[in-house]
Structure 1
């Protein structure tokens, strides 16, 4: 009997349990995978703590992002998927389709093949981060070679994906990190500049880096009071995308800077891309092509065994990683 990861109460990583579950048959429009690897996301840590955009319906499965092999499909799904190596696009609710475990049933629309040069671990570490950054920076932001782009929490998997996308566009990637511990790693992974926000004057450094121009795009998962500082370094007619609330603090609107600069601040979710099939098709091609030719290489911070799922999430929550935390399931 296959096993899955499930939790019965809210709390920290210790609430997660690996337990046996009957083999699940896919319903109409669904597919079942034999899972090989899973990529962990901050959203999942917020989810099992009850701090995510949706509340878990207990008991709940968990997991957005896996790679594996299609074993079965439901009615209305092309049988040619069976036997293919695929990854999942995080375009569904974890209340309906948690994926972490030996088996995962997902909507067939969430399946994507991945380039043959990727391992299952890399495939499970690619789609959430690159699609999230793509939506803000490419689809909405129209990033171009003339742009300076500010990337707070740059050592996260999404932050590193943003650096790759900015570099691919010929623009200048400015990584922002709280301490100097990750500065050298961020430079090695492609950041043109690194600002240590806990030690440096952000606005002053931005002025120096950009020659006084400021950053046209800001891609921030932290929110909270620091948006005032980010706005102080923004260019005329700039956009501040907020795609998370890691600070867990109220987020002010930088009104004075917005009036003075014509700055826009908007909340952004990857679901704006992943739930619209035309947008998703273009995004998948963009990411697939760059994974296939080596322009994008997912950075895996650490890989854990399936039995060490709780430790993997503890490591994710430690913020010690640079890149993606991955579980090797099979």
Structure 2
């Protein structure tokens, strides 16, 4: 038997409970991964609260779209992985039935990559969703180039910090937006060229000031909501807006200025093996040079997974919230 997190109804963090389930054998072309750690994502909270747009199969729904650990068993037809390999799980679109909030999870082998040597289990748990989403939004969709000014909302989140680092790796200029003035120094240390804080009466005006009146080339927005149209005016004419989240659940206002607009979800690339290879190569290069370094805000033990959700919901974190099994300390 092994422990797994489930929920039988939608609601707050209190609906999460840990139960024992049998350990199942991997099927054809699958691996069984002994999970060492996993990141907590806003997507997980939306699923738990009943706010996710896709159906969630209740009762006994699972959670978790990313994780890292070691290969524990190999199913028929798998040739690229062996028992004991350290791996990162890159996509779990059916997380409500086989999520990574567990001690063991069976996943298709083509949704697993080798864990970079530069990362331990906790660092790897903070890497994939944040950095693959930031890479996909900035590089694959927005075609970010050296010298581009990039405005990043919710900049202190795991995704926001990943976007700052990836912009710097490319040679772009990241402008960080935060509602928390106490995070300004940390964002500058993380690589932001400037920080637009809550004292700025108009984010768009502040962004134009920092770009000599031209406007930014790319806006990466995790918030959406009624303020989206105003935020979009920070972009120069013909610029690019990429939305990567919806922290504000209210309907988003539609920008009227001439822009290229993308509504980006990471599954667009993390379910594509060729795109996953590009992402993994890019991240490996950044990790080797030190341009990329996952920021972990806090690590919770598996037994306190509900507290990890509460911590993320308070919005006070700087970086990724991670949950780790005891085995992660030895990884």
TM-score by length of 2: 0.95
Deviates more, 1:295-304 or 1:174-183: 174-183
**Could you say what secondary structure the match of 2:52 adopts?**
coil
1:199 offset after TM fit, Å?
Answer: 3.9
Instruction: Give the Cα separation in 2 of the matches to 1:56 and 1:91.
Output: 14
Q: Which runs of 5+ in 1 are unaligned?
A: none
Change (3 A) 1:91 1:217: farther
Q: Which residue of 2 aligns with 1:152?
A: 153
Q: Which residue of 2 aligns with 1:226?
A: 227
Taking the TM superposition and a 5 Å limit, the aligned residue runs for 1:74-93 are 74-78=75-79, 80-93=81-94
Query: CA offsets per residue over residues 201-236 of structure 1, 9 Å max, x none?
Result: 212211210011111111111111211222221112
Change (3 A) 1:218 1:79: closer
Deviates more, 1:17-26 or 1:290-299: 290-299
Query: CA offsets per residue over residues 161-211 of structure 1, 9 Å max, x none?
Result: 000011111111001112312212111111111111464321221121001
Q: Which residue of 1 aligns with 2:275?
A: 279
Query: CA offsets per residue over residues 28-76 of structure 1, 9 Å max, x none?
Result: 2211111111111110001111111323201111111111110112122
Change (3 A) 1:231 1:96: same
1:293 offset after TM fit, Å?
Answer: 3.0
Instruction: Give the Cα separation in 1 of the matches to 2:53 and 2:126.
Output: 22
Query: CA offsets per residue over residues 219-271 of structure 1, 9 Å max, x none?
Result: 1111112112222211121111111111101112112x22xxxx122211111
Query: CA offsets per residue over residues 254-301 of structure 1, 9 Å max, x none?
Result: 12x22xxxx122211111111122122111111122123322110000
**Could you say what secondary structure the match of 1:224 adopts?**
coil
> Is 1:49–2:45 an aligned residue pair?
no
Runs of 4 or more, structure 1, over 6 Å off, are none
**Could you say what secondary structure the match of 2:227 adopts?**
helix
Contact 1:179-1:199 within 8 A present in 2 as well? no
Q: Which residue of 1 aligns with 2:16?
A: 16
Instruction: Give the Cα separation in 1 of the matches to 2:227 and 2:81.
Output: 49
When the two chains are superposed, the root-mean-square deviation of aligned CA atoms in Å is: 1.4
**Could you say what secondary structure the match of 2:226 adopts?**
helix
Q: Which runs of 5+ in 2 are unaligned?
A: 327-331
